[in-house]
Amino acid sequence: METGAKLNVDRLNVFYGDNHAIIDASMKMPQYRVTALIGPSGCGKSTFIRCLNRMNDVIEECRVDGAVYLDGVDIYAKDTDVVQLRKRVGMVFQKPNPFPKSIYENIAYGPQVHGMKKGKELDEIVEMSLRQAALWEEVKDRLDDSAMGLSGGQQQRLCIARCLAINPEVVLMDEPCSALDPIATAKIEDLIDQLKKEYTVVIVTHNMQQAARVSDYTGYFYLGKLIEFGNTKQIFENPREESTENYITGRFG
Amino acid sequence: MRWWDFKEKSIKYILFIAAIFATITVIFIIGFLFAEGFPAFREVGIGTLVAGPEWVPTGVPERYGGLPLVIGTLLVTGGAVLICGPLGVACALFLSQIAPPRARFVLKPAVELLAAIPSVVYGFFGLSIMARWIKVAFDIPTGETWLNGSILLGIMALPTVVSVSEEALTAVPREFKEASLAVGANKWQTIRSIILPGALSGITAAIVLGLGRAIGETMAVMMATGNAPIIPKPVWNIFSPIRTITGTLGTEMGEVPLGSIHYHSLFALAVILFGVVIIINFIATWILGYIRKKQYGEAGKKGRFRVSLSHEVIRSIKRVLSYTLGFFLLTFLYFALGIIAVGGAILVYLTYRWVSPRLSRKRSQGIAFKALWASGIATIIILGVLLTFIIARGAPAISWDFLTKSPRDSGREGGIFPAIIGTLYLVAGAIGVALPIGIGAAIYLNEYAREGRITKLIRMGVDALNGTPSVVFGLFGMAFFVLYLQFGRSLIAGQLTLGLMILPTIVRTTEESLKFVPMTLREGSLALGATQWQTVRRVVLPPSLPGIITGSILAIGRAAGETAPIIFTAAVFITRFLPDSVFDPVMALPYHLFSLAVGVPNSETNAYGTAVVLLTVVLLINLGAIIIRSRYYRERL
């Protein structure tokens, strides 16, 4: 791999109560590249991505074994500051989840909880994040309107902007387009292409064409196991595993 | 970083203390009631206190047989539930499913107003207006009867049933409704077979909460049931005067010599009442927990909303329901009331079973909808009648002097200024105590705690406190604040007692509205690296504020109108002075009304006037809060 591994997952196991949701998954996600995680529903890809910024901590009955190294440091170590971790590893969720606040407040929220006061600097961050998320032109005249009034696609770009505003190093996206129409999806995909210049991106997607279009690396999950991981081109054109080939050629899933 | 951690941790501990507060209070209440009741258990014996046939504490020899009081309590409460259960659920269905916006706009505030009307005003209405109607209508010697008490209690418990059921009905996911409509079910079929079962746990909770409200009610039954400690003859004679345990406590506690056997017997009765209520509540909580567990699955306890209405689930709901019914059946049968209640219910059910397959689904929808409309309209008429009669008779008494002068001639003349101020002090103090603790407890339970033994203990405490009858709070306040801490009959003793009483309302409503905030919002905030407390304060609390405000409205309304907890702790009938410190006793509107209505002959004008002022104060508090809430909604959404 031409650049160093930003995230290195080592023998990760996840349990929901008695359910073994992820079985011994290991992979390296390179810096400034887009890594896509694909697989049929229930294969564990969303669970996996939520391990990368410890969002699974929120779920009570969930237990995680193994290690995830961010720049060589295990985020599951005892002394990890989860709050700082999530500042470095941002996340965009499946369904757009803007706060019921104004557009401006949504973006400003992240910087504010990290101690930034209201003022010019914050205004600039808001504008820059919205520009990065390709939303600025559409909302610049109504920053004080409620974010709930935006369309689904706009809301999702708002959530991406909100994530970028805290200047993370890694952006996790959990099926960011699954609730969107094709036009909005195309916009988000363009955006992902832009993002990898500055961020390391991990995206879970249900849509194989999308994975092929946007990602550099692809991991294929099936029944909680990481079946195959590698260069996207290789995975799609010349998969090593039969299960991968079956999925990609649409024989199931 | 250290400072950050320290802050987060201390917040968590403070919230935990707030949460465990209710449990500690309950332990205190039980401890003090037992300590004061124990001599009576020893001298009189628990058998006599529960099942002795006669209650004559002033006779020679004194007799402390509690059976008439126990039966009286069961009969009045049972009657009330028969009224408020069906009417309340129908009203909630109407509101949540079929009411056009304009009808909602009228009915919803009407229900809130019914909830806001103080129990002493209901009692006053029952004593001076409804009792007369009943007397004339049925041509009986006195209208102060079991029937009178049950109707009043039914009306009083109605808002609880309506609002809790409505919430449960609205919470049934729209997808279910749409799925049912999409397969060609009509609206009534959808309501009956999808929405009602989906909201079953909430509706059960609503009725049990209504029952709790009714069983612990003191003032209304004390004033309206004639207060004779006799067992009706025959036992289903709804025109017999009757007396409840709460009524006995309210009537006799004020005049009993401290430390006498009579005094201890009253505390022993309070222990029994408390025990019964706690048992009912735990059974109810268990049922609810069981239904929820089956319905949402173990995994869905927190945050994730998973509902599957499989056959198995529906069957288990039915099973639980039949257990519940069985339990109530047994109770009622034991006390012979069952014959009417069950007979009636079976008759209605059989009629329904016989009629419903014979009607086209369109017809049955028509009939059902008409019944729901009728229940909505009936609720509004009840409120209308109540307000019209009291205001029409009380308005002539209202004058500037009435509001700003002290009472003269035992309250027949003069005004009620000290009572108005006293009530405001009491409410402000109670809210000041309960609001921070209650909200803190709810935040701890919903945002911080992992479900386990500790949360179970806390929830048990809150539930027990919520079910505790107001008169028991009064007794506890008297035993603990007034006598043990030697505050004497004082403003602060009343404020603290009222504060404890409204605490569970605030915890519950706050927790409910916190639950309403979608998990995805919390995740959105946490994923940005916000701390737990930042997430709570900035993302979770703002959208749940309207719910919290609504809860506080209910609490304020209750605190302002409550009489039983302050009779023995804070209130005096006449004082011409305002309290100089929190250790002075005060006058209070509800107690003043009670004293005039029951104890001062020829004071009707001023009694009605006091009722109008009390109503106005309470309704204004509510109106203000409703305005705040609706403005808040507009701003946010």
The predicted-structure confidence for A81-100, as pLDDT tens digits, reads as follows 888 888 899 999 888 888 88
Residue B526 contacts A where some CB pair is shorter than 8 Å: yes
Among candidate residues B105, B109, B101, the one with its CA nearest the CA of residue B625? B109
Per-residue H/E/C for B459-507: HHHHHHHHHCCHHHHHHHHHHHHHHHCCCCCCHHHHHHHHHHHHHHHHH
CB-CB contact of B595 with B124 (8 Å): no
Question: Which range among A155-169, A173-187, B495-509 shows the weakest confidence by mean pLDDT?
Answer: A173-187
Q: Is B543 on the interface with A (CB under 8 A)?
A: yes
B residues 577..636 contacting A (CB < 8 A)? 636
Angle (nearest 5°) at CA B66 between B64 and B68: 125
Q: Which of A17, A100, A163 sits opposite B543 (nearest CB)?
A: A100
Closest CA to A71 of A111, A31, A115: A31
**Which residues in chain B touch residue A98, judged by CB atoms under 8 angstroms apart?**
524
Give A241 to chain B, closest Cα distance, Å.
34
C-alpha B586/C-alpha B430 separation (Å) is 14
Does the structure's ipTM exceed the value 0.95? Answer: no
Contact (Cβ atoms closer than 8 angstroms) between residue B590 and residue B376: no
Q: What are the tens digits of pLDDT across the range B554-610?
A: 788 778 888 888 888 888 777 766 777 778 888 888 888 888 888 888 788 888 999
Q: Which residue of A has its CA nearest to B452?
A: A60
Q: How far is A20 from chain B (nearest CA, A)?
A: 14
Non-local (6+) Cβ contacts of A45 within 8 A are A37, A38, A39, A204, A221
- Amino acid B612: pLDDT: 92
A85 contacts A53 by C-beta, under 8 angstroms: yes
Question: Do A109 and B530 make contact, defined as CB atoms within 8 angstroms?
Answer: yes
Residue B567 tokens, joined: 């009779």
Q: With an 8 Å Cβ cutoff, are B524 and A146 in contact? A: no
Length of chain B: 637
Return mean pLDDT, chain A.
Answer: 89
Higher-pLDDT residue of B539 and B337 is B539
DSSP bridge partners of A102: A146
Q: Residues with Cβ < 8 Å from B509, sequence gap 6 or more?
A: B547, B548, B550, B551, B552, B554
Q: What is d(CA B187, CA A223) in angstroms, rounded to the nearest whole number?
A: 41
Average pLDDT, chain B: 81
d(CA A132, CA B142): 80
Average pLDDT over residues B237-266: 86
Q: How far is B263 from chain A (nearest CA, A)?
A: 50
Is the pLDDT score of B187 beyond 70?
yes
Does any CB of chain A come closer than 8 Å to the CB of residue B531?
A: yes
Token readout for A41 is: 């529903």
Q: Which helix (H) or strand (E) holds A37?
A: strand A34-38
Q: What is the rounded CA–CA span in Å between residue B203 and residue B288?
A: 10
Which is higher by pLDDT, B528 or B182? Answer: B528
Query: Rounded mean pLDDT of B403-409?
Result: 80
Query: What average pLDDT does range A22-41 have in this prediction?
Result: 92
Instruction: Give the chain A residue nearest B542 (alpha carbons).
Output: A100
Q: Give strand pairing partners of B56.
A: B63
Distance from CA of B285 to the nearest CA of A (A): 22
Q: Choose the closest CB to B636 out of A95, A100, A109.
A: A100
Highest-confidence segment of A112-116, B314-318, B320-324: A112-116
Nearest by CB to residue B529, choosing from A87, A97, A100, is A87
Among chain A residues, CA nearest to B633: A100
List chain B residues with CB under 8 Å of A81.
Answer: 1
CA distance B449 to B392: 52
CA distance A111 to chain B (A): 9
pLDDT at site B358: 65
> Are B521 and A97 inside 8 Å of each other by CB?
yes
- B636 Cα to chain A: minimum distance (Å): 7
Would you state the pLDDT for residue B254? Answer: 78
- Quote the minimal CA–CA distance from B136 to chain A in Å: 58
Q: Binning pLDDT at 50, 70 and 90, where does residue A122 land?
A: very high
CB A97 within 8 A of CB B524: yes
Q: Do B529 and A86 touch (CB under 8 A)?
A: yes
Which amino acid type is present at position B48?
T
Taking phi first (over 0 means left), then psi (-120 to 50 degrees means alpha), and beta for anything else, what does residue A74 get? beta
Q: Cβ distance A100 to A110 under 8 Å? A: no
Candidate from B301, B539, B637 with C-beta closest to A99: B539
CB contact under 8 A, A86 and B518: no
Cβ distance of B1 and A100 shorter than 8 Å: no
Any residues with CB less than 8 A from the CB of B262 and at least 6 apart, and which? B57, B58, B62, B64, B252, B256
- Cβ(B447)–Cβ(B514) under 8 Å? yes
Q: Whose CA is closest to B12, among B464, B545, B429, B449?
A: B449
Q: pLDDT tens digits, residue range A176-220?
A: 888 788 888 888 899 899 899 999 999 999 888 899 999 999 999
Say if the Cβ atoms of A59 and B524 lie within 8 Å: no
Please give the residue that has the higher pLDDT: either A158 or B304. A158
